[in-house]
Structure 1
Amino acid sequence: MGSPDLLLALLADARLPVGGHTQSAGVEPAMTHGGLTAQDVPAFVAGRLRTVVAVEAGTAVVSRHHVLAGADLARVHRAWAARTPSAPLRAASETLGRGYLRLARTLWPDPPHLDGGWAGFERTCGRTPPRPLVLGALAAVAGLDAGRLVRLCAHEDVATAAAAVLKLDPLDPLVATGWVLRAHDAVEDLVDRCARLTDPDEVPATAAPLVEQFSLQHATTRQRLFHA
């Protein structure tokens, strides 16, 4: 499977063809409906790491554990859905999940850890698998440990937010890069919080009501650059 660190770099690459460029990690909805400014983005990112990303990373880690154990993923899916009450955000996650699943089927067509292959994985999820479930399965198949998986989830969210700002409120790209670098300690805190999770009930249930509210408003906005 190659070096886990090189695999991590590959999966965290924004050029990966999985549809991530259609997302803003909540930045566009927050700017459009909540008055978020570029100066607010570091605090916004930190808040997402404690809430939204904790749910995503925790779900991914538990999914990885279940795949390696040969366990059913339906409970994991239900736990994620209960912690993601916004229908637009669930739909966006399922869209990203399809992109990652297509990538996984191409790079790892005969996954050793999946009973019934990728089709069997989809069946155990009960419906279209959302992004964190697919990332968890992909980590199991590719040999990424739980810590790297959390870093992948967290880095992608922070980097997505920073990249979105450059399109919505252009500024020096070095400033946005600095935001990503300064989030490092918060990302490592999330690793400590989520990397040991094994049960769906342990997935953080950290609400972000404004993120949910803005996503609902954004879903009906006609002029927008990003889905969410």
Structure 2
Amino acid sequence: MSGTDTGALGALLLADARLPTGGHAHSATLEAALEAGMPEDRIADYMRARLATVARTEAAAAVVALRAAGRPDPDYGPVQEALAARTPGRALREASASLGRGLARLARRVDAAHPAVCALPTAQAATPGLRPLRPVVLGALGAVFGMTAEQTARAVLYEDAQTVTAAALKLRPGDPLTAVRRLLDLSADIEGSVRVAAETDAPHGIPAHSAPLIDRWAEAHARETRRLFVA
């Protein structure tokens, strides 16, 4: 597989909501936020807050994983540990690991023999009991497709915003064009976080941008027995 030919295609593939990796079952904690009383007219603000905090952290982690995947003997342990430490809520760590599992299945189907894919167990070895986190696997997939740091970061950030947008249409049905408008209005925020994430070159450089309220909502959502989304 030629990275030169597939980098852009890989970025489009990872941004496709039809990609069967389980993301449709997640709302990026939007369901919990709305249940907690966040007004519907604040959804765009919620998306913007995620792009500047948790999503930026994940995008940077994916870029570091991408760089690790390009080494002769890839080891995702340091980036897995760094990202787990920057994801304090158990519910969010487990959700990320669940999404990572779906992406790992995709990675094995695309190119099981690729060194970046073969090295994925090094992530779990670094955090026993916790599967490779979604950004780590995205970095490995980025290496398989020959994606750049910018493409990898953008895929993470766009998917985060798109997850909220898609969930909003199910939780608060309305005009789909409103959802499209939200995404377009956030383009500058996405690109700003892309630039920050793409410059990250080591695990210790991954930003630790916390979002305590999102952490709290996610933990509460994990205990709910009646819900539309897993997380």
TM-score bucket (shorter structure) = over 0.9
Q: Per-residue displacement from partner, 1:54-80 (whole Å, max 9, x unpaired)?
A: 111011000111111234221111110
For residue 207 of structure 1, give the secondary structure of its aligned residue in structure 2: coil
Give the alignment of 1:1-228 within 5 angstroms. Answer: 1=1, 2-33=5-36, 35-69=37-71, 70-111=73-114, 113-114=115-116, 117-118=117-118, 120-126=119-125, 127=128, 128-228=131-231
Deviation at 1:124, TM superposition (A): 4.5
**Contact persistence 2:60–2:198 (CA under 8 A):** yes
RMSD: 1.3
Deviation at 1:89, TM superposition (A): 0.7
**Contact persistence 2:123–2:132 (CA under 8 A):** no
For 1:158 and 1:100, locate their aligned partners in 2 and report how far apart those are by CA, in whole Å. Answer: 18
**Contact persistence 1:66–1:198 (CA under 8 A):** no
Deviation at 1:4, TM superposition (A): 1.9
User: What stretches of structure 1 of length at least 5 have no aligned partner?
Assistant: none
Deviation at 1:26, TM superposition (A): 1.6
Which segments of structure 1 move beyond 4 Å, counting only runs of 4 or more?
Answer: none
Moved more, 100-109 or 121-130: 121-130
**Contact persistence 1:52–1:206 (CA under 8 A):** yes
Deviation at 1:191, TM superposition (A): 1.3
Amino acid at match of 2:120: F
For 2:47 and 2:203, locate their aligned partners in 1 and report how far apart those are by CA, in whole Å. Answer: 25
Amino acid at match of 1:157: D
Deviation at 1:165, TM superposition (A): 0.6
Q: TM-score under structure 1 normalisation?
A: 0.94
